[in-house]
Amino acid sequence: MRGRHLLKPLPLLTPKPPSRPPAAHFRARAAAHPPTPRRAPLAEPDVGISRFAASIPGFNGALKQRYSDFIVHEVARDGALVRLTSFDLPDGEESGDNVEDGECDATADPSRALASFRLLCGEVDYDALRGFLERVSEGGDGDLSPIILSADADKAHRSEVHEFIKRNFKFLNTDTVEHSDGIQKCIRVRLGSGPRGGRARNRRGMNSSGWRDDKPFDSRGSTSWPYHLGKFLRFNLYKENKDTQEALGVIGKMLGVQPRSFGFAGTKDKRAVTTQQVTLFKVHASRLAALNSKLAGIRVGDFSYVKEGLTLGQLRGNRFAITLRNVIAESDDVINAAVNGLSKNGFINYYGLQRFGSGSVPTHFVGAALLRGEWRHAVSLILGTRVHYKWHGDVDAALRGMPRHLTVERAILQRLKKYPGNYLQALMAIPKTLRLMYVHSYQSYLWNHAASMRVEKYGSSLGEATTTDTFDDDDSHVNSSEMEMSCETLPEEKIQSVKIVDSEDLLKAVYSFEDVVLPLPGSETLFPGNEVARIYHEIAKKDGISLIESAHGIKDFSITSMKGGYRRILQRPIDFEWDLMTYTDDNTPLVPTDLDVLSEIQSSETNELLSDGTCSCPSSDSQLQVSVVTSGPTIEASSAETKSIGILDLSPEKLAVKLEFTLPASSYATMAIRELTKTSTSVACQKTLNG
């Protein structure tokens, strides 16, 4: 009842784009046909999800009845499975270590350092820094406003200056600011906290020389740090029923660090138990580990120091352990056929509903408004039903009534308060990765519709003018997964080599349906040379959007400013395994989590110590970690013991299907489950099944 399948590398495609109407036509239609916000939750056909890879019948099963029924482990770039296995600190670091940021000898004579600074930066900056240090040493509050050094176009030199000040004047903080012309850049210096620190006053707005002085200070590089350690703490983040941003927000608030200090390769599902790698800039493991006793539904461990932080897209994929409960099928043969069909045929590699958001307004609606240059409409869509602002324009009232966790909405409103009526400026207050998400969502919306049309019209046949991946069948397929993933998360960074299939390729049977890809529209992607290309332009035209000419000059909100990418139509689960299970209690965990396994190990080790007489009681940390979650194995043992003493269990026996498989970083496990059950993954449908 188990199956395994190793996915082989796939090739890429590139057909010629058909002729298109001028962009002015699209702009004219934009105002007349803006997308209407949806009040009801998204259904799969709304975002182009309508076909299946095979016609094998499915079966009913409840997905995510418990969040622990959906377990995700990140697969790192080196192929290692990311698990929470230890709370131990790195070698040489003790839990009592308390190296705080900014601790340094600030009373040292600065004359020698100033002399070196004069050689590095010149006479003008030397005089400015010397005067600033004199005011600091006087200890007065006369003028401790930041100083701005001379314009410096050499990024490498600016980095050297940052490092020099950090090394020699540890009580000072530096960051880079830009001139009002948007081109020139320079270094800003201010008094930091700690010895000789205090609180420096900060001028707001533009100074007399035209340099922006209203930018928040970036003090990431201002802390003292042991030279023998990598500047980033890497750790494994385990979370239950929380999304990645929420979990890191909690940790950041407790540590007093800003969100930009964290790095991660990808966001993980909220209603799930997930483990992923995270990096944190210049924070000691002991500080982070101390939070475990205070965190709810979150644990951190497996600490190490590394030289580079993680960025989006730096992962191989994800390993899933998914349990479908309350399974109902005509027979076990139906389940066998469906599961084996998924393993053999794969599934259509749709972008799942999660891609389009869970709010009242889908993210691709916002993306369409941004592509048309409708800044005010986009702001209105993002803010949604925040009544005070939408109907009365009362920014202050909207901010007062808005929860703190709605960071995007609050950022927009705060920028509107500062620049009333400037909706583009308000949109630029959103972090860049989130800004790009909206346009990427619209690209995904087009791709889903194109994939459905392709499967509907051509099935699994190849056909001429189809685009295929051209990677060789060798070890380079490892990189192809990373490239595809990078195209999906940041399409402007990577472009894959593709080929249009011709009659000679068909005769030689060079490619199969597994090799077929479709484009995520961009300036350097090519469309198939068949009718599938038409669907992209028809849908975009209906939304008042041109895919070949931008309606405005804002790069972040323009498909033509992104290079684009390609995505396989078909995806097979990798290292696929499955089992049928029976259970009686809906609250019984059927698959152990990392915390369950770790708690069992610690409990066993504690019991061994007790039996040896070497320990009188477990530590407070052990008690905490063992009691956090009741593990699956413990419950199963209890159930077995009950039966052994003859107590009759009258609960009806239920059937569950446990699936384990790996997918590339840009593929959605929910789409694999959809293919298996032939059931919608929408919230409304799953609520019905769970009920």
Token pair, residue 508, equals 């030689």
Distance of alpha carbon 234 from alpha carbon 230, whole angstroms: 10
Q: Report residue 140: phi and psi, to 5°.
A: -85, 165
Distance of alpha carbon 120 from alpha carbon 242, whole angstroms: 48
Does pLDDT of 108 surpass 60? no
Does pLDDT of 296 surpass 60? yes
Token pair, residue 112, equals 């020698």
Q: Report residue 583: phi and psi, to 5°.
A: -155, 165
**With contact defined as beta carbons under 8 Å apart, do 313 and 485 qualify?**
yes
Amino acid at 211: W
Does pLDDT of 81 surpass 90? yes
Q: Which helix (H) or strand (E) holds 378?
A: helix 375-383
Q: Which helix (H) or strand (E) holds 571?
A: strand 570-571
DSSP string, 396-412: HHHHHTS-TT-HHHHHH
Distance of alpha carbon 165 from alpha carbon 486, whole angstroms: 36
Supply the pLDDT for residue 29. 43
Tokens 């080196």 sit on residue: 78
Distance of alpha carbon 672 from alpha carbon 581, whole angstroms: 20
433 band by pLDDT with thresholds 50, 70 and 90: confident
570 band by pLDDT with thresholds 50, 70 and 90: very high
35 band by pLDDT with thresholds 50, 70 and 90: very low
- The stretch 35-39 carries a mean pLDDT of 49
Helix axes 432-458, 363-372, angle to 10 degrees: 100
Number of Cβ within a 10 Å radius of residue 42: 19
**With contact defined as beta carbons under 8 Å apart, do 27 and 372 qualify?**
yes
30 band by pLDDT with thresholds 50, 70 and 90: very low
Token pair, residue 485, equals 């993933």
Does pLDDT of 416 surpass 80? yes
616 band by pLDDT with thresholds 50, 70 and 90: very low
Helix axes 155-168, 111-121, angle to 10 degrees: 180
Residues 6+ apart with CB under 8 A from 423: 375, 376, 378, 379, 416
Distances (CA, A) of 82 to 161, 178, 346: 38, 40, 25
Domains and CATH numbers, the chain: 112-190 (3.30.1370), 354-470+493-568 (no CATH)
Does pLDDT of 220 surpass 70? no
Supply the pLDDT for residue 443. 95
385 band by pLDDT with thresholds 50, 70 and 90: low
Report the SS3 class of residue 233.
strand
Residues 6+ apart with CB under 8 A from 672: 342, 347, 571, 573, 661, 663
Read off the pLDDT of residues 246-281 as tens digits, 9 standing for 90 and up: 899 899 888 888 878 899 999 898 899 999 999 999
Q: Which helix (H) or strand (E) holds 632?
A: helix 632-644
Amino acid at 684: A
Supply the pLDDT for residue 489. 39
Supply the pLDDT for residue 69. 96
Supply the pLDDT for residue 41. 79
* Percent of the chain clearing pLDDT 90 (strictly above): 43
66 DSSP assignment: S
Distance of alpha carbon 443 from alpha carbon 539, whole angstroms: 11
pTM score, whole prediction:
0.70
* Percent of the chain clearing pLDDT 70 (strictly above): 72
Does pLDDT of 13 surpass 60? no
Q: How far is CA 560 from the centre of its chain?
A: 24
Supply the pLDDT for residue 237. 98
Distance of alpha carbon 595 from alpha carbon 630, whole angstroms: 10
Residues 6+ apart with CB under 8 A from 464: 501, 502, 503, 506, 529, 530
Supply the pLDDT for residue 318. 97
Catalytic residue among 46, 69, 175, 269, which? 269
The more confident residue out of 635 and 389 is: 389
Helices vs strands, H then E, count in the chain: 22, 18
**How many Cα neighbours within 13 Å face the side chain of 353?**
20
The more confident residue out of 96 and 293 is: 293
Whether the CA torsion 265, 267, 269, 274 is positive or negative: it is positive
Number of Cβ within a 10 Å radius of residue 557: 25
Read off the pLDDT of residues 141-197 as tens digits, 9 standing for 90 and up: 445 788 999 988 888 888 889 988 888 887 788 999 887 666 788 999 988 754 444
Residues 6+ apart with CB under 8 A from 555: 561
Supply the pLDDT for residue 219. 46
Distance of alpha carbon 239 from alpha carbon 629, whole angstroms: 12
Does pLDDT of 618 surpass 70? no
Residues 6+ apart with CB under 8 A from 34: 369, 372, 374, 377, 544
Q: Burial level of 135, CB count in 10 A (0-12/13-18/19+)?
A: middle
Distance of alpha carbon 450 from alpha carbon 661, whole angstroms: 27
Average pLDDT, the chain: 78
Number of Cβ within a 10 Å radius of residue 190: 20
Q: How far is CA 500 from the centre of its chain?
A: 33
465 band by pLDDT with thresholds 50, 70 and 90: low
Least trusted range by pLDDT, from 17-26, 479-488, 678-687 = 479-488
Count of positions (residues) in the chain: 691
**With contact defined as beta carbons under 8 Å apart, do 582 and 655 qualify?**
yes
What is the end-to-end Cα distance of the chain in Å, rounded? 28
612 classed as catalytic: no
Number of Cβ within a 10 Å radius of residue 68: 23
Report the SS3 class of residue 597.
helix
Read off the pLDDT of residues 336-367 as tens digits, 9 standing for 90 and up: 999 999 999 999 999 999 899 877 789 999 99
212 DSSP assignment: B
688 band by pLDDT with thresholds 50, 70 and 90: confident
